[in-house]
Amino acid sequence: MKYRKSARKKEVKTLEKNLPKVEKALRKGISLGLVYLDVSKFWSFEEQYGWEFIDKLFSRVSEVLLHLKEKAPPFLDVLPTCRMWRDDFVVFFIPGPKHPLKWTEGLLTRVVEALREGLKEFLPKNERLDQGDLEFFSGWAMIHSVKGIPVGTLISRAIREALDFAAEQRFSNVSQLALELDEIINGGKLSTVFQPVVCLDTKTVLGYEALARGPEGSAFRNPEVIFNVAAQARSLMKVERLAKISAMEAARQIPERYKLFLNIDSELLIQPREIFKMLKEVGCFPGRVVFEITERKAVKDFEQLRSVIQMMKKEGYEFAIDDAGSGYASMESIAILDPQYIKIDQSIIRGIETHSVKQDVVKAFVNLSRMRHAILIAEGVEDEGECRMLSSLGVACAQGFFFARPAFPPPKADSLQCC
């Protein structure tokens, strides 16, 4: 399947722009079909392959859906629709009056096959991934006009039905992944790569962030998959313990003068007895270790979390708030937990050299970090322009592909690219 260059210049319309056409058809008594696609797992590749790669990947999904519209028969109107953040889509199928749709599951099969084929064409140029890595979920539903029920309600119900259909796939997939994760835990098959945190003014290395990796060629090569499945399978403490053992063993290759940044889930930190036991077992000793607090779920008990962190600070451990600026939760964490390090989310860093609002946001973080005597770190720096702008704004440290990709052995301080 080849795609015309003209299609590449077009964008899939938003739900709001396509709704009038859908509502008009329903008011005429026409039954519609819809297919739902959830490609949100593609975001998890951003850390490994960069923002530009992810942008091209989502663009390819749009191209495939637009191609479906171009190739549809005259009696069938196809409306590819982007719902939110480019990571899930609804494709509406509006038949002509003389060609009613009797079912939509066959359309689902066609859409899924077309997307898989389109992504397969994309992959030869991107050999870092294979077809199995690009996992997505799908669902379908019919929308029938019902007297007395607003068309908006009918559409919402159908989208929810298709979403539930896709969610069932996710659930069965998680069950299988949980079994695979058990094998990884029991076999001690997690490894660690390191990415340096660079001081922008002195062009020296402050420390290294340890990042967990599963077996090569598996879904668990991606750390997001590891910890998301662990959380759902209630194996988070086991995985954290294994990840910390791997990190501390691998960190022997890093001189002790460098800080060691270790991610830890906020849910575990509210279990002080278990967390101290784990730290002792894996050899995470205070002084060198900085724990990056990640929030996979909203923190329910900030007071308990603050109490444990204060206890650990007295022991000599340091803390960083990860993904600052990505939402209300991260800002509340800064206010309540008063960390020694603040890591700005990469969504704010991306393209900052030409974005005045993002520059103002970073300035606010710079002022906050100085007042709180915290070290500010910009995450996800991918090019020299971003690096130079961050340096001019007064950001103390940064990490990202521009300096070095995550690797093992750890990238040496004297081999890093700097701005």
235 and 93 in a single domain? The answer is no
- Per the listing, tokens 């140029």 go with 125
| Dihedral angle sign, alpha carbons of residues 150, 164, 135, 51 | positive
> CA 17 to CA 80: how far, in whole Å?
11
Q: What is the DSSP letter of 325?
A: T
Is the pLDDT confidence value at 290 over 90? yes
> CA 214 to CA 192: how far, in whole Å?
9
User: Considering the domain boundaries, does residue 179 fall inside one?
Assistant: no
User: How many domains would you assign to the chain?
Assistant: 2
Helix pair 223-232, 151-187: axis angle to 10 deg: 100
Residue 409, preceding peptide bond in cis (omega within 30° of 0): yes
- Within 8 A by CB and 6+ apart from 416, the residues are 196, 198, 205, 403, 404
Both tokens of residue 50?
């960069």
**pLDDT of 228:** 78
Name which residue leads in pLDDT, 279 or 338.
Answer: 338
19 and 90 in a single domain? The answer is yes
pLDDT in tens, 233-280: 788 888 988 999 999 999 999 998 999 999 988 877 877 777 788 788
User: Considering the domain boundaries, does residue 182 fall inside one?
Assistant: no
218 and 354 in a single domain? The answer is yes
Give the predicted TM-score (pTM) of the model. Answer: 0.64
**pLDDT of 129:** 56
| Dihedral angle sign, alpha carbons of residues 229, 232, 234, 240 | positive
Q: What is the CATH number of the domain that holds 137?
A: 3.30.70.270
Alpha helices by DSSP H, listed for 261-355, are 266-269, 272-282, 302-315, 328-337, 346-349
**pLDDT of 130:** 53
211 and 283 in a single domain? The answer is yes
User: Considering the domain boundaries, does residue 215 fall inside one?
Assistant: yes
User: Considering the domain boundaries, does residue 234 fall inside one?
Assistant: yes
| Dihedral angle sign, alpha carbons of residues 307, 311, 312, 313 | positive
Mean pLDDT confidence for 1-18: 61
100 and 199 in a single domain? The answer is no
User: Is 389 exposed, middle or buried, given 0-12, 13-18 or 19+ CB atoms closer than 10 A?
Assistant: buried
DSSP code string of 358-377: HHHHHHHHHHHHHHTT-EEE
Percent of the chain with pLDDT over 70: 86
pLDDT in tens, 347-405: 899 889 999 999 999 999 999 999 999 999 999 998 999 999 999 999 999 999 999 98
Q: What is the DSSP letter of 200?
A: T
Q: Please count the other Cβ atoms lying within 10 Å of the Cβ belonging to residue 88.
A: 19
User: Considering the domain boundaries, does residue 180 fall inside one?
Assistant: no
User: Considering the domain boundaries, does residue 178 fall inside one?
Assistant: no
107 and 218 in a single domain? The answer is no
Q: Which of 65, 55, 74 is nearest to 114 (CA)?
A: 65
In which domain, by residue range, is 348 found? 188-415
Q: What is the CATH number of the domain that holds 361?
A: 3.20.20.450
Q: Which of 228-232, 310-314, 362-366, 392-396 has the lowest mean pLDDT?
A: 228-232
**pLDDT of 2:** 46
112 and 214 in a single domain? The answer is no
Instruction: Measure Cα distances from 179 to 173, 228, 235 in Å.
Output: 10, 14, 11
Name which residue leads in pLDDT, 84 or 6.
Answer: 84
- Give the best-scoring range by mean pLDDT among 51-65, 98-112, 128-142: 51-65
> CA 320 to CA 292: how far, in whole Å?
5
> CA 380 to CA 416: how far, in whole Å?
15
157 and 201 in a single domain? The answer is no
